[in-house]
Structure 1
């Protein structure tokens, strides 16, 4: 049987130990200090919840009190005191390395990316290079850089000069500037914690937080520079500039590299938030260590860059993952803040009671601290107002009230303390830094931290209240009133329901607890009438647009969380909302931003060159088109939802109608854009619809499985296994969505009407000898006057002719769509290219070499006649664009095939035009008998009906009116080929198109059908989610196909569990 030895009882935590044991403390006592600190933090947070006292200021004061009891009194704190001493004696670099990665990364990750994103758009260079070049200094980034860059240098010089001239310490300029560098750093830890407590505006918080982080990182670089100079290292101008460049730019580049690598890693993680958190936390520490220790750069700037990279990608997290990420970082940041502020107070107390100089000069030393505090405020005031014009000019601007808040929020904190402790630890050599100098650095820095946190931190809320910056705006007050009105309506409805029950209750008692709606006027009617000017929806158009855009944002989030749009798509959509909110006073601008992002940038033309591999070209082009097929339907769907919500909330008033009309105009533009994508590459539409169907089916199965689990039909083991199978399928869909099947050259040739009439042998030769090329918008197929080398068959997309050979009508550009054969006419007549041909959209082109065309012509068998008829389609749109430009290629082909006649004429024959036809001279040369005008091919010979609108057009550039005669006679100079088109066919087709257009306009839908749009966004498949099979097992069995499919999956999973060796 075990025995227990007798021994002394554990002594009280607060009792001092004997002298024999006080010299050596237990390292585990440090855990006690951490636990007591967290307990103090929880208590303070609970007690200060409904007060305006900053949480961090109270923690600092408590830390000073604990340090004073341990270091400045005869009453020691026992084991707690041992823990305090262990923490206070921690190496300064280790202190920074433990806390800063958490606090700096969390602050940067929580910032408003839209206001600082442009500098870091390098990360998304593959998505949009234009965003990188558009401007580096926009939004709040310009203001942050001004204050953190040159502002730090000016502040360092001002503080250093004041210390050198006003303090009797006999320090040299290098030492004084070293202290100035330490004190010029506005501590981000203190600033971020303060602004969170005070609830400052997002713009002001972004500027102050971002400036404090960059300021601190830049100040550390300057601190390291002067520290090297104090130690006697090289201080030449070139060496200084080189060190500053390496320390600042190098730090940012390290953060960007780690950030991009982490984002790449995260792309391979699906639905695993725990791994996301672990990776972010791990990378923040490794990046800080790499920058601070290995590269000797600023670890803080590295963390700022890293945090902003992660912040730019946080929109790509699903709703649960994004919320969990913020909660995770908020939790660990709260723990780190609690510990570091209490520890800062302890270190300040230790510095006060450990300086021997204070024994005889206590009053004078504290006088120096107060003088230094005044110097800090004056220096920051000079810096802010020196850059005030620039701060007002860039980004969102700045008013004088915000400038004062920026001045007053220049707090000093744990970072400056740690730097001064580093000086103290490194001091001891009288030649460079004496021990007294190191101790005075700690004392002065600690005093500055104490005064800025207590004075500035405690009074910032008063300044905000004094300037009215913490009060609700008029529009916000009206919004609050509206919210209360809605709550009142809900409470009255609840009261009516409860009043009809048999259980009596005291409504006065119940209403006494609903104080939030007591001050609402019960006579107010909602929605408001147009004469009620008390509501923001009547007079404040900006607020109404902002509300509309926020509703649109929520619709985007809903679509993204359902998995119906990709991560890159949600990023563009969210950025468009941010941009539109900034310009809400000028109308809606979200589609302008989206269309800019969806258009092909100029550098995409490189992908259409022969240098770029075809596979790479396809990947980039298809990726851009796929984004369009996700973004445009999501945009239309979200705007429709927001319009309905706006009308439900505001009623039918003038301003609401204006906002709705603006939204409908943007929707029309989006539909036209999507229609162009459909025309240029219909395979993309089919691929997107297939993805949406697949996703909807898998989500339906997942929901059905969840309902079966709730009904108790399946065991937990089976459910987990089947759920894993479904998740694997969803991940597979995300990683490898249905591929886009681009037609092969043979497929394009086989469906072309011309080639269908050729012999199988000719078709086989063509299919084996041609290749397809995917061209981006703006690519030139050939130029006017260049040597004929190839004929181009348009498989998909559109091509526009430019620099027409007819100067008078050169402003009319003809557009050629799918099925057009360009360059064929020039090949038949042996001429150079007649005009420039430039792709108007993404175009799939089949390139046929001239030698192959010549070999096909040599085979005879009526091939030449077929080719002449085919080239008539292109020539008609080229020579008479104002007649045929509104007809599609299929319509022009039908006219040429059914209502045209082609004839050949010998020299000296006379040709007479008729009033009912239009003739094109395809080859040869004619002379007008009345004007003696020589007409060379190609040319149009207009009839009398068109004589006043169509002059003679020929390749020689001449153009004259045909007059008003009903008939014109031409004499054949060289053997000619003329095609005659019945003009009545043109009029008939034009009238048919007009009737169709009128019908579509009356239906309010002249672009893509609503069914197609719902298919792209997944709305047409909501029946899978809304069907009763997803609600209960009873109705599930009414859906036989769903049951069979899910039953097969469950059978497969169960069999795999029971008999794994068969699978």
Structure 2
């Protein structure tokens, strides 16, 4: 990469960061979409302000090197999305995601090219170049809106999953078509359709498969780091940053594979490894670090997109003829997106009848397909002498501006039209609930100070009575809420989802304490995620059905099929499976009991009606009893395994308590950090020995 990409643009980047900080505060206060606001600010800054302010003059007419976007900002942006994505939901929806990301993009490229070939004098091959670069979706603004509005997790996963892989498909397809253009220019003739099709298919599949391989290899670098130093968050953050960039650079620059796919694969694997191997505090530090990196990259990219639009748009002549052509380009891109979305989802709905994607989801996916940084980076990478470059750049500017400004600002109303957002009565319920919990905790804190004598009793009593009054007022508001609530469906859904999230948190705590194995945790979280998905997407509430990952089902069936062939070698696996069942039954029994009690506490705080909470309480009571019965059945058939399990449980609880105390002491700085780390390492070794010993029954 040229030195000027980093050094000569250093001042502009620092200036843009300062602008991003100020605008972040302003845009959040006025509740305007952050990324769309930055795009507008970038455009206004470059077009209206910079030419008239001397120290801002470098921004006017500034065009970033395409490598700055593709090699500096894109890898961390992709990695941040991949590491935060729910991989269990992604793999549950992998069929529509892959179909849209690959087949959908190819259809979009050819539909755009064919439609515009009838409207412009540009040869089809160059229009396919435009189709490839403009088909890269960038729904960052829409994803942020999804989070704010609380759309169903499945819709979130479908949009973000497609976007991650769509960028990879677009870049690979763009490079393939550019290669065909170069080949035709060199050979002086046209290749046959058959040759082009074979070349395209082979290149796309090879690039994707190779990217997955490179990304996976790079991701495993963090495994060694975690084993060598499990309690150093800065080290994990640095290694993950190196993985994000190295996966992209090695794939793209060394092996000519898909760097985006490599980064996606690396991000998903790092997510799974860190969720299994890191403690809760260190894991949270890593995710917060990547949230910051994502914020940084998004801020810079959308400011640069707004600034770059002004430079790319300068050669345009705004005549009525151009306006008509611009409208035709927007329509062609929209038609291509509609054909791929509605057409392909109709096919996947036939393939997966029990997991069909609704028309409302499809419409939001269609309209939320914004274009942004990747499109501009690809058009900037076109050589100056490339035929029709200015016209392709003009088309790109038109589509990017339209999708960000028009589609980006109207996606929210579209979501509300289809009632996919969190309902108003749910928002009101949550607001009142949080206020009640806050007042109750404040009152408890004051009561806890009474016996210490630091504050006069009458002062504490006066303050406590104020909170008593506040709680009473809030309970009256809750009574009004239940009286005016138009229906209980949305509140019932909220109770179910919050209960399942609490259940998942119980599983995670037990795992962090070493009381649940990674495989058992995976089964439990997959089941819980599926129940949430069923509620949000299909309105099906839990009724005793358990859901298991298809991958785990295949693995279990494979082991069962080969067990007669290997006899003694498989005996160890059978022991491990038995222990996993014990751990699973224990985890479900404990979490179901805790969740049932939690739901009853929430109902008491909020005055919720029995018709809403009874089904939730009954389901968790049934889960608790069923798990206890399953545990007893295993105990009767395998007493040795149960005794071994109890020994491990006692050891795990003791070690977990000691580790928590040591981590607290480390934070407070009471003892020498090296001594504390040595003791933590000793406890980890003891934990590992206990894990091995539990299998000796």
Q: 2:91 aligns with which of 112, 117, 125?
A: 117
State whether residues 190 and 412 of structure 1, in contact with CA within 8 Å, keep that contact through their aligned partners in structure 2: no
Report matched runs for 1:714-725 at 5 Å. Answer: 719-725=672-678
Sort the Cα spacing of 1:152 and 1:111 in 2 relative to 1 into closer, same or farther, 3 A. same
CA distance in 1, matches of 2:14, 2:179: 39
Superposed CA RMSD in Å reads 4.3
More strand by share: 1
Sort the Cα spacing of 1:184 and 1:695 in 2 relative to 1 into closer, same or farther, 3 A. same
CA distance in 2, matches of 1:222, 1:26: 26
* SS of residue matched to 1:632: helix
Equivalence for 2:333 = 376
Equivalence for 1:404 = 363
Equivalence for 2:77 = 103
Q: 1:420 aligns with which of 374, 379, 398?
A: 379
Equivalence for 1:275 = 235
Q: 1:49 aligns with which of 22, 28, 35?
A: 28
Equivalence for 1:218 = 169
Per-residue deviation, 1:275: 2.7
Per-residue deviation, 1:367: 4.5
Report matched runs for 1:661-700 at 5 Å. Answer: 661-678=618-635, 681-700=638-657
Q: 2:391 aligns with which of 408, 418, 440?
A: 440
Sort the Cα spacing of 1:480 and 1:114 in 2 relative to 1 into closer, same or farther, 3 A. farther
CA distance in 2, matches of 1:483, 1:369: 50
Sort the Cα spacing of 1:537 and 1:52 in 2 relative to 1 into closer, same or farther, 3 A. closer
Sort the Cα spacing of 1:679 and 1:34 in 2 relative to 1 into closer, same or farther, 3 A. same
State whether residues 531 and 541 of structure 2, in contact with CA within 8 Å, keep that contact through their aligned partners in structure 1: no
CA distance in 1, matches of 2:145, 2:338: 20
Structure 1: segments with no counterpart, 5+ residues:
1-23, 119-139, 744-795, 797-1063
Sort the Cα spacing of 1:520 and 1:31 in 2 relative to 1 into closer, same or farther, 3 A. farther
Equivalence for 2:63 = 88
CA distance in 2, matches of 1:734, 1:332: 35
Per-residue deviation, 1:143: 2.7
TM-score, scaled to structure 2: 0.82
Equivalence for 2:37 = 58
Equivalence for 1:453 = 404
Report matched runs for 1:791-940 at 5 Å. Answer: none
Equivalence for 2:256 = 296
Instruction: Note the alpha carbon deviations across 1:142-169, whole angstroms, 9 max, x for none.
Output: 33223222221221111111221112xx
Matched, 1:229 2:203: no
Per-residue deviation, 1:412: 0.8
* SS of residue matched to 1:587: coil
* SS of residue matched to 2:476: coil
Sort the Cα spacing of 1:490 and 1:499 in 2 relative to 1 into closer, same or farther, 3 A. farther
Equivalence for 2:187 = none
Per-residue deviation, 1:490: 6.5
Instruction: Note the alpha carbon deviations across 1:734-791, whole angstroms, 9 max, x for none.
Output: 4443534878xxxxxxxxxxxxxxxxxxxxxxxxxxxxxxxxxxxxxxxxxxxxxxxx
CA distance in 1, matches of 2:328, 2:694: 75
State whether residues 251 and 258 of structure 2, in contact with CA within 8 Å, keep that contact through their aligned partners in structure 1: yes
* SS of residue matched to 2:381: helix
Instruction: Note the alpha carbon deviations across 1:505-560, whole angstroms, 9 max, x for none.
Output: 8999x89x98x99776258499x9xxx99698899765554443333222223323
Q: 1:603 aligns with which of 540, 558, 575?
A: 558
Instruction: Note the alpha carbon deviations across 1:211-255, whole angstroms, 9 max, x for none.
Output: 222222212222122111111256613223222322334333443
Sort the Cα spacing of 1:734 and 1:364 in 2 relative to 1 into closer, same or farther, 3 A. farther
Sort the Cα spacing of 1:492 and 1:729 in 2 relative to 1 into closer, same or farther, 3 A. closer
Q: Which has the larger radius of gyration?
A: 1
Sort the Cα spacing of 1:499 and 1:284 in 2 relative to 1 into closer, same or farther, 3 A. same
State whether residues 479 and 536 of structure 1, in contact with CA within 8 Å, keep that contact through their aligned partners in structure 2: no
Equivalence for 1:335 = 296
State whether residues 534 and 541 of structure 2, in contact with CA within 8 Å, keep that contact through their aligned partners in structure 1: yes
Per-residue deviation, 1:404: 2.5
CA distance in 1, matches of 2:6, 2:373: 23
Structure 2: segments with no counterpart, 5+ residues:
185-190
Sort the Cα spacing of 1:517 and 1:214 in 2 relative to 1 into closer, same or farther, 3 A. farther
Per-residue deviation, 1:327: 0.9
Q: 2:603 aligns with which of 622, 637, 650?
A: 650
Per-residue deviation, 1:350: 1.6
Sort the Cα spacing of 1:214 and 1:502 in 2 relative to 1 into closer, same or farther, 3 A. closer
Matched, 1:579 2:554: no
Per-residue deviation, 1:279: 2.4
CA distance in 2, matches of 1:538, 1:190: 30
State whether residues 536 and 544 of structure 1, in contact with CA within 8 Å, keep that contact through their aligned partners in structure 2: no
Aligned length: 668
TM-score, scaled to structure 1: 0.56
More helix by share: 2
Matched, 1:562 2:513: yes
State whether residues 71 and 249 of structure 2, in contact with CA within 8 Å, keep that contact through their aligned partners in structure 1: yes
* SS of residue matched to 2:183: coil
Instruction: Note the alpha carbon deviations across 1:878-910, whole angstroms, 9 max, x for none.
Output: xxxxxxxxxxxxxxxxxxxxxxxxxxxxxxxxx
CA distance in 2, matches of 1:459, 1:494: 45
State whether residues 344 and 414 of structure 1, in contact with CA within 8 Å, keep that contact through their aligned partners in structure 2: yes
**Which one is further off, 222-231 or 264-273?**
264-273
* SS of residue matched to 2:292: helix
* SS of residue matched to 1:270: coil
Matched, 1:386 2:337: no
Per-residue deviation, 1:418: 0.8
